[in-house]
Structure 1
Amino acid sequence: MYLENINAPRDLRGYTAEQRRILAQEMREALIERTSLVGGHIGPNLGIIEATIALHTVFDSPRDKIIFDVSHQCYPHKMLTGRAGAYTRAAEYNDVSGFTNPDESAHDIFNIGHTSTSISLASGLAKARDLAGGTENIIAIIGDGSMSGGEALEGLNVVGEMGTNCIIVFNDNDQSISENHGGMYRKFKELRETNGQAEDNLFRAMGLRYRYVADGNDAEALIRVFSEEKDSTSPVVIHIHTTKGKGLSFAENDPEGWHRHAPFHLETGIAKKAASSEPYAAATVDFVLETARKNPNFIYLSAGIVGGINLSPAQRAELGSQYVDVGIAEEHAVAMASGLARAGARPIFGTYSTFFQRTYDQMAQDVAINRSPAVFLATGTSLYRSTDVTHLGFYDISIFSNIPNLVYLAPTSVAEHIAVLRWAVEQREHPVMIRMPFSGYEESPYPVRTDYRDLNKSIVVTEGRDVALIGVGNFAALASEAAEELAHEGIHAAVINPLYLSGLDEQLLDSLKEKHSLILTLEDGILAGGFGQKVAAFYARTGGVRVRNYGLPKKFFNRYTPAALAREYHLTATQIAADVLRELA
């Protein structure tokens, strides 16, 4: 084998074309075997193997800086930079993350999990190099729909004027996570069909030189072009046409389904374990389809990830013109939703919480100041969801609950989630953001409202005395579980679902002081700027009760075990009940 003998990119330098071909096959087989056992981003990585071999054959990493965007296509890069064991030995499979990470290797320049950033990052590296009188090459690899993000265009615009070494490799596999969307992709198709000769060329319009490689899975052709551009003194885009999922028939035939895949049987491609049902997403899909059928002015917006609710190709086709995928351009989606709402349409824009972070200014400026009654659905909002540092979804409460005019709600059950969605779409007074539950009550323990126009009215789930547990969204059920534990000790705790994260039910909070000397807030998010701190600040002004806030500290976590993290910060029912008993004693 060649792969197991590669400890650094320099080990590739003496390889012949035939040895590189065999190496590519070994890497492909290792990726398929590993993914069949532990899952991962299989399609993007199978498609970029030859390009990665060519990059590390020509350039001198880490002296030459290679930035991956989206860095979920970095598995072959890791295999060639001293981490092959994490892809060839089962015992080491979990030793590396699914994205570039400078803590792992000097060959990884940035921690990157979001899209469209590589060109901007590369421009900064190139400018700093020039200021210092350096000569290293700066290479940005961008693909999987990332060119549709606004920051990519901003980066191209700046690099086009810089007049210095900056090599942009556009990995064009004609796919995003699902299909590509946007006018530029029609023009990229024309470039592919004309061998790069089409008159309309975005990159030349931005001031960059342009080269096209028709077979981006031909390592030898890539080596020739990369060698010619190495140490260039002007910026260039090298447009390479690759096949997503190359070498695995299942992935080639279904690039969306195999963008990222669970462990599977090698012979059939069938997942080894049936996908767990996501009741909140499934209920949301049903609501979206039903609402679209009843209301021709309803529209669902997505930003490259099928709306964060796993809309299937058939469901997207059923929605037709009532479904718009804007590409990986969350900022645009928020502003477009504001325009839709202002013109009388009823939009929902849904995406993962980690990607909503990119939209703060649009939410404040384009939506909230204008009071546009658009609806925003944040998914993946839990410490129990994504655990990679670049994809954490639990910062949303402190970010969005403090924007004036924006009503932010955290329902606690499927029934309440759909009731809140229905009200949000039908009302015309407020921009509304909804924190889609990740977990919660299997069945609502109280009658679910249908009207939420009376803002900031919390729900008393159970009456009690001495201690009150205020459980936010996902953690309302946790509050009820802790109350049950306390009941075994003779403590009858009140449980409150605040529902509204953007304001306080001050009347209820005032009344709690009559029977309760201790208030606990539980939230599936960070404490700094979160809901619990609002409650603590209220009682700091009015006095008469002790407050304890439960949540996560303001820090980044990476590749953690959710249950262990919850225990570390006493976010289990048993620990919370024990803490209460100590406090009351």
Structure 2
Amino acid sequence: MGLISAPVTATPLLDRVTGPQDLRIMDRDTLIRLAGELRAETINIVSQTGGHLGSSLGVIELTLAIHTVFDTPRDKLIWDVSHQCYPHKILTGRREKMLELRKKGGPSGFTRRTESPFDPFGAAHSSTSISAGLGFAMARELGGDPGDVVCVIGDGAMSAGMAFEAINNAGALGKRLFVILNDNAMSISPSTGAIATYLAELGARPGEDRSFFEQMGFTYHGPVDGHDLGGLVDSLQSLRQHATGPVLLHALTRKGAGYDAAEASADKYHGVAKFDIATGQQAKAIAAAPSYTKIFAGALVKEAAKDSRIIAITAAMEAGTGVDIFRRHFPDRAFDVGIAEQHAVTFAAGLAAGGMKPFCAIYSTFLQRGYDQIVHDVALQGLPVRFAIDRAGLVGADGPTHAGAFDVGYLANLPGFTVMAASDEAELVHMVATAAAHDAGPISFRYPRGDGTGVPLPEAGTPLPIGKGRIVEDGGTVALLSFGARLGECLMARRMLAAYGIPVTVADARFAKPLDIDLVEDLFETHELFVTIEEGATGGFAALVLGHLAGRGLLDGRCAVRTLTLPDRFIAQASSEEMYEEAGLNAHHIALLVRETLAAKGGLSARAQRFNGRHVPRIQVAE
């Protein structure tokens, strides 16, 4: 595989770099050699850790040029999304820690304020950099932190309305601000839309048409070669010397630049597992079952084959959501609207009002960005938009910025909304069918990242009765009511508790709204302990259950009630297993909660023994 590498020197140049100040005393030839070493080092690290490789390789020269010309961290460098920040981290004192990248206790895969003074603004979602940068610039003007502000934003991120809102405001304010447009014609997938077309045309005819940015109040410079390190340094030095207001430098780059395997890949190695540098072969574990994303896509294709009104929409995440699979079957009914969740939601609302059946497939963490549109344009009008919410719960190495923690709470409080969660991949198939058949208002279903549980899949989905859960295993003393994909952990906890002579009923709620009140009341009335489990934040499913029980006057001590949710804090990146361990949502945490609660109650009451039909000895809680 081709690899741009540095000539061998007695002492690697990177070993001499303790921070950006060391770059500023290097001559151009030395910086160019350092770029080769930095590229090789980035590839070597990500080959062992996995992560966002292509985006980082595309900004090697930009990163070096910015840190050489600007006085970071006094000057603020803000990376949009920041998945391209690995070279930046290597150069800013974190090189020795990079083999722990995206692991528990290691550097984040994104910029993070608490990690380094060279990360003045944290990110992981798109299109925030210019807004934040303008905030820093105005703070400087008003007596706050001094220094220049440099924002690096990708062409894909320019498809989001927030970027244009910031450009509009920055142009009007006229304050000194540097925006570098990192134009590689890709975000995760190839960039789409009229903006992408405009930028491509602008790059093809340098100097001919810069009217848009200049009309918005920016001084435009470019396009320039984003891999010509000397040219970048010259451009940035000139702009820094002469700028009086907002400036946009248009740099043309290649995602995955310098590594053949990345440049040849369809997604330019956007996100990779560990891989062999020589061959580019990624070391992915053999899946025991298809991923939830593929199950969703396959189920939606089957429903769309029966109903020509079914539409699939995503916001720059075709491959991540499975809409790319749908597109192969129904190209005229698949829409990637760019990084524009707000538009995606209202676009879907318009389609629904026009008689279509839109499925809006967006990660939970990104759907947050379209919440006003969900409220105003969908829920208020009662429009039957179907929300397929991927990446529900904790997601591992991408950390808290990508965790799907809040969607149950922010959707279930909306009048007329139906809110579901799949406990396994078979249930997901049925929920796709349920959503397809549901025309009574907006409906959502959430499902986790990663592979399914391996349960047999139905040949076709069957619409579920709205607002009805199911008993999975019958017991007696303890009722575990799971909402979502922690059901498997509940079943494992049931087996653990059986060893202590504690019979357990396990139920799958399926719906947070409308809540299956008959199931909830039956479990509450017939058990000694009633526990709800969900992979979401406080204020979600448990709050709905407690609200119902309190409203009915049932919380009178007859049955102990406990809730297990994500804790009221953001959980740093780690493996999914480690994150759920920290969250206290694994089987042994469920079993321990049950044992401790029953022990605190003095064992089983006569009432519980009547339901059990046998005596269960007092439980001893382990130290």
- Whether these two folds match at TM > 0.5 is yes
Match of 2:539 among 514, 529, 532: 529
**1:419 maps onto 2:433 in alignment:** no
Instruction: Quote the Cα distance in structure 1 between the aligned partners of 2:521 and 2:441.
Output: 27
Structure 1 portions without partners, runs of 5+: none
Match of 1:347 among 338, 349, 358: 358
**1:555 maps onto 2:565 in alignment:** no
TM-score with structure 1 setting the length: 0.93
Matched AA of 2:141: D
Give the deviation of 1:361 after TM superposition: 1.0
Q: Deviations over 1:445-492 (max 9, x none)?
A: 99998333x532221223332221101110122222222222333332
- Shifted more, 420-429 versus 510-519: the winner is 510-519
1:161 alignment counterpart: 172
Match of 1:222 among 232, 247, 262: 232
Match of 2:299 among 287, 299, 303: 287
**1:173 maps onto 2:173 in alignment:** no
Instruction: Quote the Cα distance in structure 2 between the aligned partners of 1:283 and 1:562.
Output: 20
Give the deviation of 1:242 after TM superposition: 0.6
Give the deviation of 1:420 after TM superposition: 1.3
Match of 1:24 among 22, 35, 39: 35
Give the deviation of 1:172 after TM superposition: 0.3
- Count residues in correspondence: 579
**What is the 5 A alignment of 1:446-485?**
450-452=462-464, 454-485=465-496
**What is the 5 A alignment of 1:116-127?**
116-127=127-138
2:504 alignment counterpart: 493
Matched AA of 1:559: Q
Give the deviation of 1:310 after TM superposition: 4.1
**What is the 5 A alignment of 1:66-77?**
66-77=77-88
2:9 alignment counterpart: none
**What percent of counterpart residues are identical?**
35
Q: 1:403 to 1:385 in 2, by over 3 A?
A: farther
2:60 alignment counterpart: 49
**1:203 maps onto 2:203 in alignment:** no
1:359 alignment counterpart: 370
1:102 alignment counterpart: 113
Give the deviation of 1:36 after TM superposition: 1.6
Q: Deviations over 1:17-73 (max 9, x none)?
A: 110110000001111111222111111111111111111111101111110002011
CA contact (8 A) 2:179 2:249 kept: yes
Instruction: Quote the Cα distance in structure 2 between the aligned partners of 1:358 and 1:469.
Output: 33
Give the deviation of 1:380 after TM superposition: 1.0
CA contact (8 A) 2:56 2:86 kept: yes
**1:234 maps onto 2:234 in alignment:** no
Question: Secondary structure at 2:293's aligned position in 1?
Answer: helix
Instruction: Quote the Cα distance in structure 2 between the aligned partners of 1:52 and 1:447.
Output: 51
**What is the 5 A alignment of 1:66-465?**
66-87=77-98, 90=99, 95-132=106-143, 136-143=147-154, 145-198=156-209, 201-230=211-240, 232-274=243-285, 276=287, 278-306=290-318, 308-312=320-324, 316-438=327-449, 442-443=454-455, 450-452=462-464, 454-465=465-476
Matched AA of 1:256: D
1:581 alignment counterpart: 595
Matched AA of 1:218: D
Instruction: Quote the Cα distance in structure 1 between the aligned partners of 2:51 and 2:86.
Output: 10
Structure 2 portions without partners, runs of 5+: 1-11, 604-623
Q: 1:500 to 1:103 in 2, by over 3 A?
A: same
Give the deviation of 1:412 after TM superposition: 1.6
Q: 1:497 to 1:506 in 2, by over 3 A?
A: same
CA contact (8 A) 1:302 1:349 kept: yes
Aligned residues: CA RMSD: 2.4
Give the deviation of 1:217 after TM superposition: 0.8
CA contact (8 A) 1:465 1:516 kept: yes
Q: 1:464 to 1:289 in 2, by over 3 A?
A: same
Q: 1:273 to 1:423 in 2, by over 3 A?
A: closer
Instruction: Quote the Cα distance in structure 2 between the aligned partners of 1:449 and 1:215.
Output: 52
